[in-house]
Structure 1
């Protein structure tokens, strides 16, 4: 089709997808920042350091907030100004954040202004790099010459092939943000039980397994990751939160471990965004994977 020959496809994500900076730059992915509210003052993702946030996490009222709708409009118009006529947006799970719905509503209103531009919104039903890796794979497919329709269909059909497994030292931040029940969080703390958390097919946190003691839990995260990839070709990601040198070393060790697997095609490393750090707290350790056909 003639339309396919001239199509120029752009990708927009929210900052909660945690795509590494080098990938964002390579594929010219537009990132719409989520917001953090500290004692009533709003900050966009990227405008404050991890250190600044960590200092305030325990003794301030810290919440997360949806992106500014203007930031979504600006990202779309920036794509259009670059000659893009087809856009795919990717968001963290609609069952954990209102970001996807905000993107959808904003997109619907902007379509009236730019009727010639096609926009598709993908609800990844995932979080952090579990969502980001789907957008990354879509960017690769566009580079390979796949059409807009092919990429959109592929994303909707294959997004459940992405999974994250993570553990955090304290459940208090997840409980504080209403992501898990306060009672289960308290019991977990008392018994030193560390749940390995993942995202189910509906895009909601759930405990996939449990271990006693934080150090043992890293091996358990790796074990759950191995179970999921099960000798299939995969892309993977090793992610941490906070500023601990010990965790940077841990990340490096697991990066080498995952990279050495026979069916591992590519492994990326990164840190969770500040908005996700609000819910995980420091010293989160996680591995994400995407099964490639």
Structure 2
């Protein structure tokens, strides 16, 4: 049997995961020297409440080879064929760890058919990719077509985000303390994108929260392909007010056919803080795979 599995950096909603019986490998997060697992032993609301306390020591690390072996072995033992779609190599070392685990499992089960795909994506952009491939699988697409479609969607998915505070980007070294402190004083908000290599980049900065949210919609309008005919994905880091403001703008200006909405989990949230908000979409047509996406 062909299976698709992914990891929790995809930030897919729990309702979606349950409805599609999707295996999601949890990302580890360390809080005060204790390991937790994203979506399994810690939930997003609890995580952000802890993250708000600046005295707590919080960090993440990528899923390691031993964790991947534990996840892969049941499929190898069952004789299943698996596509694992992983968190971007431009942000974490997940892809390399998964391949180490694959090599170890193949020593025991040399016929195990496992394809590991670098999503070059993060959060709900990653989730949007996974959801399209799951739909294709459920509609009978063969493995080769799903892998081909993955490459196509990866090259055409856009991610654009903003954050409420720069403190976590400064703490993580993505922004210098000097520049970050000045920007915070001036209420400057970065507009962030995930580039084609899957790395996080600052596109520009704008002044004020509402302008930053409007900038996300403007970016989508400028770069999206017929947004009224596609599913547009939205995510937030436990900031319902910002999400609703963004959705209202999207309904007015983008008019998406459907929406995929999620909360940013530990893998990304630990490095951005509460208040990250993002929009993800395609810049090209899905017509080529319409047979398996309807």
Mark the CA change 1:84 to 1:25 in structure 2 (over 3 Å): closer, same or farther: farther
1:236 to 215, 219, 232: 232
Where in structure 2 are there 5+ consecutive unaligned residues?
287-294
CA offsets, 1:38-86, max 9 Å, x none?
22221111212445433443112211112243432233234456x5621
Moved over 6 A (4+): 260-263
CA offsets, 1:229-253, max 9 Å, x none?
14354321111112xxxx3244245
1:19 to 5, 9, 12: 12
CA offsets, 1:189-237, max 9 Å, x none?
1222111111111111112232111122111111112212143543211
2:173 to 150, 175, 178: 178
- RMSD over aligned CA atoms reads 2.3
Mark the CA change 1:261 to 1:214 in structure 2 (over 3 Å): closer, same or farther: closer
2:258 to 230, 251, 266: 266
Residue 71 (1) aligns with residue 63 (2) = no
Give the secondary-structure state (helix, strand or coil) at the position aligned to 1:264: coil
CA offsets, 1:20-41, max 9 Å, x none?
2222223322111111112222
Q: Which residue of 1 aligns with 2:42?
A: 48
Residue 32 (1) aligns with residue 25 (2) = yes
The separation in 1 between residues aligned to 2:187 and 2:59, in whole angstroms, is: 26
Where in structure 1 are there 5+ consecutive unaligned residues?
1-7
The separation in 1 between residues aligned to 2:281 and 2:45, in whole angstroms, is: 28
Tell me the TM-score normalised to structure 2 length: 0.86
The separation in 1 between residues aligned to 2:179 and 2:172, in whole angstroms, is: 14
Mark the CA change 1:256 to 1:190 in structure 2 (over 3 Å): closer, same or farther: closer
Tell me the TM-score normalised to structure 1 length: 0.87
Q: Which residue of 2 aligns with 1:96?
A: 91
Give the secondary-structure state (helix, strand or coil) at the position aligned to 1:54: helix
Residue 217 (1) aligns with residue 212 (2) = yes
Q: Which residue of 1 aligns with 2:58?
A: 62
The separation in 1 between residues aligned to 2:102 and 2:252, in whole angstroms, is: 42
